[in-house]
Amino acid sequence: MIAETIFTLIAVVGTIITTAQAFLTAMIRRSGRPFAGGLREQAYPQADSFISILKPVCGLDDELEENLLSFVSLPGVDYEVILSVEDHADAALPVLKTAVRDHPDVFRLVIGGGGTRQGVVNRKVERLIAAARVARGDILLISDSNVRVQPDDVARTIAAFSDARVGCVSNLFTGANARTLGATVESLHLLSFVVGGTILASTAGIPCVVGKSMAISREALRSIGGFEAFRNILAEDQAIGLAVREAGYEVVVSPVAVRNVVVRRTIRRAVDRQVRWNKIRYAFSRSLYASEILLNPMPAAIAAAALGAPAALPLAVVLIRFAQVAILRRAMAAPAPLWAVPLLDALMLYAWFVPFFSNRVTWRGYEARITRNTELVAA
């Protein structure tokens, strides 16, 4: 049957690609060097480089205090951390004020100041605009409020800028501290899909920038119009990466892996996040997004077996998927329960279909439609 053959091919090719992702990730992590279509030698930045770490905050994240404290003592860099929150009603404000009070030499607090809101805007970008206006650094490191770092992560990230051609650096990240099923699924998705996809895209010469933990030089930011140019863009991180490359700079993926602390999530919220990210990628390129069906071979293998392919096919794919996640788990030093892999793949199949039928998102308190290149318009 034609359908059986098609599903078998998807399963086989997809298994090969996802296995390659796992090995590429392990290779790049072992190398310890930034990656942009090739590996370059690592060196530390000039001693006079001052780093401004911009932390947009919206609400009280899991273990926010511990996340902030991980930025208190960072060897090898001269830096400041700017905490940017929208207003005095934000639930995170008491934690932020405590951090500033206890570590005034590290933290600075900005409340409001993002600009006049007209239409639907990206509230995270507004926080970055407000923070960048007071930042003193030559290099701006964007770090979400749920990110936790190891002491040398920032120095290793900034090291890539020792090459003057580099304008933007994106770190890898994995989930940490999951205690609920939804948080476990989300962390596993970050490890098995997001990390591998980032490496695969970079190998293919496609900038893949995630704003969870990314750095941009002040010079490169000016050349692309500042954060203000991305006020109405949902995927401001990827749009910034593409703009930086178009401006003539290199965009590199760092082997540094920061931790995205996700303690409690419902399954619904975890899937909603997948769907939103899927809609973002769909808005950038429908053809590339459609090809992502190859990154989830297990459902295709099951469908092929149901149509007459050998029953050993889905069993083999399941075992290989377990092996892939085990490789990623070791390479990224991230916890990931193998038993949840089939559940993740089933949820990913559902989430993959949604963007073909809906371009609406509910994000940070408002509803909007995603248009070309993830520009936001009122729903």
**CATH code assigned at 224:** 3.90.550.10
Residue 112 shares a structural domain with residue 255: yes
> Could you give the CA distance from residue 5 to residue 272 in angstroms, rounded to a whole number?
32
Residue 266 shares a structural domain with residue 219: yes
Residue 177 shares a structural domain with residue 322: no
Name the residue range of residue 142's domain: 36-270
The tokens of 259 are what? 């931790």
Q: Are strands 107-111 and 78-85 parallel, antiparallel or unpaired?
A: parallel
Encode burial over 55-89: b for 16+ CB neighbours within 10 A, e otherwise: bbbbeebbbbeebbebbeebeebebbbbbbbbeee
Number of domains in the chain: 2
- Chain-centroid distance, C-alpha 201: 13
> Could you give the CA distance from residue 312 to residue 105 in angstroms, rounded to a whole number?
61
Residue 306 shares a structural domain with residue 216: no
Residue 72 shares a structural domain with residue 191: yes
The strand order across the sheet containing 78-85 reads 107-111, 78-85, 50-57, 139-143, 213-217, 166-176, 250-261, 147-148
Measured in degrees and rounded to the nearest 5, phi and psi for residue 257 equal -120, 110
E strands present in the chain: 50-57, 78-85, 107-111, 139-143, 147-148, 166-176, 213-217, 250-261, 360-363, 366-370, 376-378
Angle at 201 between CA 195 and CA 204, to 5 degrees: 145
With left for phi above 0 and alpha for psi between -120 and 50, is residue 125 left, alpha or beta?
alpha
Residue 142 shares a structural domain with residue 45: yes
Q: Are strands 376-378 and 366-370 parallel, antiparallel or unpaired?
A: antiparallel
Tens digits of pLDDT across the chain (379 residues): 788 999 999 999 999 999 999 999 998 888 777 766 443 444 445 446 799 999 999 988 999 999 999 999 999 899 999 999 999 999 999 999 999 999 999 999 999 876 655 667 888 999 999 999 999 999 999 999 999 999 999 999 999 898 888 999 999 999 999 999 999 999 999 999 999 888 888 888 887 888 899 999 999 999 999 999 999 999 999 999 999 999 999 999 988 999 999 999 999 999 999 999 999 999 999 999 999 999 999 999 999 999 988 999 999 999 999 999 999 999 999 988 999 999 999 999 999 999 999 999 876 667 888 888 888 887 6
Closest CA to 276 of 347, 174, 360, 182: 360
Encode burial over 265-283: b for 16+ CB neighbours within 10 A, e otherwise: bebeebbbbbbbbbbbbbb
Within 8 A by CB and 6+ apart from 300, the residues are 7, 8, 10, 11, 14, 293
Residues in the chain: 379
The tokens of 21 are what? 């992702």
Query: Residue 301: which H helix or E strand, with range?
Result: helix 297-306
Q: Are 178 and 186 in contact (CB under 8 A)?
A: yes
CA distances to 58, 79, 214, 242 from 277, in Å: 19, 31, 17, 17
pLDDT of 101 reads 96
CA distances to 69, 181, 304, 316 from 143, in Å: 13, 26, 43, 39
Q: Are 149 and 234 in contact (CB under 8 A)?
A: no
Residue 126 shares a structural domain with residue 243: yes
Query: Which of 232, 250, 270 delimits the end of a domain?
Result: 270
Give residue for tokens 């940490």: 176
Encode burial over 108-123: b for 16+ CB neighbours within 10 A, e otherwise: bbbeeebeeeeebbbb
Query: Which of 202, 235, 270 delimits the end of a domain?
Result: 270
Residue 159 shares a structural domain with residue 233: yes
Residue 117 shares a structural domain with residue 71: yes
Query: Which of 215, 248, 270 delimits the end of a domain?
Result: 270
> Could you give the CA distance from residue 289 to residue 85 in angstroms, rounded to a whole number?
33
pLDDT of 115 reads 63
> Could you give the CA distance from residue 218 to residue 246 in angstroms, rounded to a whole number?
16
pLDDT of 294 reads 93
Residue 171 shares a structural domain with residue 283: no
Residue 68 shares a structural domain with residue 86: yes
> Could you give the CA distance from residue 150 to residue 335 in angstroms, rounded to a whole number?
16
Residue 232 shares a structural domain with residue 316: no
Within 8 A by CB and 6+ apart from 310, the residues are none
